[in-house]
Amino acid sequence: MSIPVQRSRDILQQAELLYSAEQVQASLHKVAQQINSALADMHPLVLSVMGGAVVFSGQLLPLLDFSLDFDYVHVSRYGDARQGGQMHWKVEPHENVRNRVVLVLDDILDEGHTLAALHQRVMKLGAKKCYSAVFADKLHDKPKPIYADFVGVELPNRFVFGYGMDIEGAWRNLPAIYAVKA
Q: Provide the whole-model pTM.
A: 0.91
- Position 1 pLDDT exceeds 70: no
Supply the mean pLDDT for the chain: 91
DSSP helix/strand/coil, 115? helix
Task: Tell me the mean pLDDT in the region 103-132.
Answer: 94
Residue 36's pLDDT is 98
Bridge partners, 117 (sequence order): none
Residue 81's pLDDT is 47
Task: Tell me the mean pLDDT in the region 110-137.
Answer: 94
Task: Tell me the mean pLDDT in the region 6-11.
Answer: 92
* Domain boundaries, given as residue ranges, for the chain: 22-79+87-158
Please state the φ and ψ torsions of residue 37, each to the nearest 5 degrees: -65, -40
Bridge partners, 73 (sequence order): 49
CA separation, residue 28 to residues 2, 20, 52, 102 (Å): 29, 12, 15, 19
Residue 155's pLDDT is 97
Instruction: Please tell me the CATH code under which domain 22-79+87-158 is placed.
Output: 3.40.50.2020
Per-residue pLDDT reduced to its tens digit, 46-61: 999 988 899 999 999 9
Q: Among residues of the chain, what percentage have pLDDT more than 90? A: 76
- Position 121 pLDDT exceeds 80: yes
DSSP helix/strand/coil, 172? coil
- Position 83 pLDDT exceeds 70: no
- 95 falls in which pLDDT band (50, 70, 90)? low
- Position 90 pLDDT exceeds 90: no
Closest CA to 80 of 58, 118, 56, 51: 51
- Position 142 pLDDT exceeds 70: yes
Alpha helices in 70-112 (DSSP H): none
